[in-house]
Protein backbone atom coordinates (compact mmCIF):
# COMPACT_ATOMS: atom_id res chain seq x y z
CA UNK A 1 0.00 0.00 0.00
CA UNK A 2 1.54 3.35 -0.94
CA UNK A 3 2.18 6.00 1.67
CA UNK A 4 0.06 8.48 -0.28
CA UNK A 5 -3.01 6.26 -0.41
CA UNK A 6 -5.58 6.73 2.34
CA UNK A 7 -5.44 3.95 4.94
CA UNK A 8 -8.48 1.70 4.54
CA UNK A 9 -10.67 1.22 7.62
CA UNK A 10 -11.94 -2.30 8.17
CA UNK A 11 -14.52 -3.10 10.83
CA UNK A 12 -14.05 -6.72 11.90
CA UNK A 13 -17.22 -8.12 13.44
CA UNK A 14 -16.72 -11.19 15.62
CA UNK A 15 -19.71 -13.28 16.70
CA UNK A 16 -20.06 -16.17 19.13
CA UNK A 17 -18.57 -19.16 17.37
CA UNK A 18 -15.74 -21.43 18.48
CA UNK A 19 -13.99 -20.08 15.36
CA UNK A 20 -13.80 -16.64 17.02
CA UNK A 21 -10.20 -17.40 18.00
CA UNK A 22 -9.29 -17.14 14.30
CA UNK A 23 -10.27 -13.45 14.39
CA UNK A 24 -6.96 -12.82 16.17
CA UNK A 25 -5.02 -14.12 13.17
CA UNK A 26 -7.26 -12.21 10.75
CA UNK A 27 -6.80 -8.93 12.63
CA UNK A 28 -3.04 -9.41 12.90
CA UNK A 29 -2.61 -10.17 9.21
CA UNK A 30 -4.72 -7.17 8.17
CA UNK A 31 -2.75 -4.80 10.39
CA UNK A 32 0.48 -6.12 8.86
CA UNK A 33 -1.01 -5.24 5.44
CA UNK A 34 -1.48 -1.63 6.55
CA UNK A 35 -5.21 -1.79 7.21
CA UNK A 36 -6.72 0.14 10.12
CA UNK A 37 -8.72 -2.56 11.94
CA UNK A 38 -11.52 -1.89 14.43
CA UNK A 39 -12.96 -4.98 16.10
CA UNK A 40 -16.59 -5.14 17.20
CA UNK A 41 -17.53 -8.16 19.32
CA UNK A 42 -20.86 -9.61 20.28
CA UNK A 43 -21.30 -10.63 23.89
CA UNK A 44 -21.29 -14.29 22.83
CA UNK A 45 -17.92 -13.83 21.08
CA UNK A 46 -16.37 -12.82 24.40
CA UNK A 47 -16.95 -16.36 25.65
CA UNK A 48 -14.43 -17.60 23.07
CA UNK A 49 -11.78 -14.86 22.84
CA UNK A 50 -10.99 -11.85 25.01
CA UNK A 51 -11.37 -8.27 23.87
CA UNK A 52 -7.83 -7.59 25.14
CA UNK A 53 -6.38 -10.08 22.64
CA UNK A 54 -8.14 -8.40 19.73
CA UNK A 55 -7.37 -4.90 21.01
CA UNK A 56 -3.68 -5.74 21.21
CA UNK A 57 -3.57 -7.22 17.72
CA UNK A 58 -5.73 -4.55 16.05
CA UNK A 59 -4.07 -1.70 17.95
CA UNK A 60 -7.49 -0.14 18.53
CA UNK A 61 -10.05 -0.37 21.34
CA UNK A 62 -12.58 -3.17 20.86
CA UNK A 63 -16.20 -2.11 20.63
CA UNK A 64 -18.40 -4.18 22.91
CA UNK A 65 -22.05 -3.98 23.87
CA UNK A 66 -21.12 -2.98 27.42
CA UNK A 67 -18.84 -0.15 26.27
CA UNK A 68 -20.45 1.28 23.14
CA UNK A 69 -19.97 4.92 24.05
CA UNK A 70 -17.37 7.56 23.29
CA UNK A 71 -16.58 10.93 24.83
CA UNK A 72 -17.99 13.16 22.08
CA UNK A 73 -21.56 13.57 20.88
CA UNK A 74 -21.51 11.00 18.08
CA UNK A 75 -22.50 7.41 19.00
CA UNK A 76 -19.56 5.05 18.49
CA UNK A 77 -21.47 2.79 16.10
CA UNK A 78 -22.29 5.74 13.83
CA UNK A 79 -18.75 7.13 13.94
CA UNK A 80 -17.30 3.75 12.99
CA UNK A 81 -19.99 3.08 10.38
CA UNK A 82 -19.15 6.39 8.72
CA UNK A 83 -15.40 5.64 8.61
CA UNK A 84 -15.61 2.02 7.42
CA UNK A 85 -14.26 1.08 4.02
CA UNK A 86 -15.38 -2.55 4.58
CA UNK A 87 -17.41 -4.44 7.17
CA UNK A 88 -16.07 -7.98 7.55
CA UNK A 89 -17.88 -10.43 9.82
CA UNK A 90 -15.69 -13.43 10.67
CA UNK A 91 -16.96 -15.65 12.09
CA UNK A 92 -20.64 -15.10 11.38
CA UNK A 93 -23.02 -17.41 13.23
CA UNK A 94 -26.47 -18.41 12.00
CA UNK A 95 -27.93 -16.10 14.65
CA UNK A 96 -25.91 -13.09 13.49
CA UNK A 97 -26.72 -13.77 9.83
CA UNK A 98 -30.42 -13.81 10.74
CA UNK A 99 -30.09 -10.53 12.66
CA UNK A 100 -28.33 -8.90 9.70
CA UNK A 101 -30.96 -10.15 7.24
CA UNK A 102 -33.82 -8.95 9.42
CA UNK A 103 -32.22 -5.56 10.08
CA UNK A 104 -32.14 -6.02 13.84
CA UNK A 105 -29.97 -3.65 15.83
CA UNK A 106 -29.58 -5.14 19.30
CA UNK A 107 -25.84 -4.57 19.70
CA UNK A 108 -23.05 -2.45 18.19
CA UNK A 109 -22.18 -4.90 15.40
CA UNK A 110 -25.68 -5.00 13.95
CA UNK A 111 -26.06 -1.25 14.51
CA UNK A 112 -22.91 -0.62 12.47
CA UNK A 113 -24.18 -2.99 9.76
CA UNK A 114 -27.38 -0.95 9.47
CA UNK A 115 -25.64 2.42 9.53
CA UNK A 116 -22.67 1.84 7.23
CA UNK A 117 -22.64 2.23 3.48
CA UNK A 118 -19.46 0.14 3.24
CA UNK A 119 -19.54 -3.26 1.50
CA UNK A 120 -20.32 -6.28 3.68
CA UNK A 121 -18.20 -9.46 3.55
CA UNK A 122 -19.47 -12.38 5.65
CA UNK A 123 -17.49 -15.51 6.57
CA UNK A 124 -19.92 -18.00 8.16
CA UNK A 125 -19.02 -20.64 10.75
CA UNK A 126 -21.61 -23.02 12.16
CA UNK A 127 -22.87 -26.58 12.26
CA UNK A 128 -23.55 -27.89 8.74
CA UNK A 129 -27.21 -28.59 9.46
CA UNK A 130 -27.62 -25.01 10.66
CA UNK A 131 -25.95 -23.70 7.49
CA UNK A 132 -28.17 -25.81 5.24
CA UNK A 133 -31.40 -25.02 7.09
CA UNK A 134 -33.90 -23.24 4.82
CA UNK A 135 -34.16 -20.31 7.23
CA UNK A 136 -30.40 -19.71 7.14
CA UNK A 137 -30.31 -20.07 3.37
CA UNK A 138 -33.17 -17.60 3.05
CA UNK A 139 -31.27 -15.09 5.21
CA UNK A 140 -28.15 -15.62 3.09
CA UNK A 141 -30.16 -15.03 -0.09
CA UNK A 142 -31.64 -11.85 1.41
CA UNK A 143 -28.21 -10.50 2.31
CA UNK A 144 -26.79 -11.41 -1.11
CA UNK A 145 -29.69 -9.60 -2.77
CA UNK A 146 -28.62 -6.49 -0.84
CA UNK A 147 -25.04 -6.80 -2.07
CA UNK A 148 -23.40 -8.75 0.76
CA UNK A 149 -20.69 -11.16 -0.29
CA UNK A 150 -20.16 -14.53 1.40
CA UNK A 151 -16.88 -16.37 1.76
CA UNK A 152 -17.50 -19.99 2.68
CA UNK A 153 -18.27 -21.83 4.75
CA UNK A 154 -15.59 -24.44 4.10
CA UNK A 155 -15.78 -28.21 4.48
CA UNK A 156 -13.99 -30.21 7.14
CA UNK A 157 -14.21 -31.41 10.71
CA UNK A 158 -16.54 -29.16 12.70
CA UNK A 159 -16.24 -28.34 16.41
CA UNK A 160 -19.50 -30.22 17.05
CA UNK A 161 -17.84 -33.43 15.82
CA UNK A 162 -19.60 -33.54 12.44
CA UNK A 163 -17.73 -33.62 9.16
CA UNK A 164 -18.95 -31.37 6.36
CA UNK A 165 -19.79 -27.83 5.37
CA UNK A 166 -19.69 -25.20 8.10
CA UNK A 167 -16.07 -24.38 8.94
CA UNK A 168 -14.76 -20.84 8.87
CA UNK A 169 -12.51 -20.33 5.87
CA UNK A 170 -8.82 -20.11 6.66
CA UNK A 171 -7.65 -16.71 7.92
CA UNK A 172 -5.32 -16.17 4.94
CA UNK A 173 -8.22 -16.73 2.52
CA UNK A 174 -10.41 -14.29 4.47
CA UNK A 175 -7.63 -11.69 4.55
CA UNK A 176 -7.06 -12.00 0.78
CA UNK A 177 -10.79 -11.57 0.12
CA UNK A 178 -10.90 -8.56 2.47
CA UNK A 179 -7.90 -6.93 0.78
CA UNK A 180 -9.53 -7.43 -2.63
CA UNK A 181 -12.79 -5.92 -1.34
CA UNK A 182 -10.92 -3.00 0.24
CA UNK A 183 -9.10 -2.29 -3.02
CA UNK A 184 -12.41 -2.32 -4.91
CA UNK A 185 -14.10 -0.07 -2.33
CA UNK A 186 -11.28 2.44 -2.05
CA UNK A 187 -12.03 5.88 -3.44
CA UNK A 188 -10.12 6.68 -6.63
CA UNK A 189 -6.88 8.57 -6.20
CA UNK A 190 -6.88 12.22 -7.26
Catalytic site includes residue 169: no
CA dihedral 120, 81, 9, 59 (to 10 degrees): -120
- Residue 92 Cα distances to 54, 59, 126, 168, angstroms: 16, 22, 8, 9
CA distance 36 to 60: 8
Nearest 5°: the CA angle 63, 68, 70 is 100
Residue 89: CB partners within 8 Å, gap ≥ 6? 12, 13, 14, 15, 96, 100, 109, 113, 120, 121, 122, 123
From the candidates 5, 102, 159, 160, give the one annotated as an active-site residue. 160
Among all residues, which ones are annotated catalytic? 160
Amino acid sequence: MSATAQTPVLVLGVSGSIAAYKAADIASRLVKEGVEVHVVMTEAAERFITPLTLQTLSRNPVIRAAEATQPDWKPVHIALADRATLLLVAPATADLIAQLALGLAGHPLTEIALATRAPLLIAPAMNGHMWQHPATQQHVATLKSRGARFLGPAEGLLACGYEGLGRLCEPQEIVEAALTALAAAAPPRP
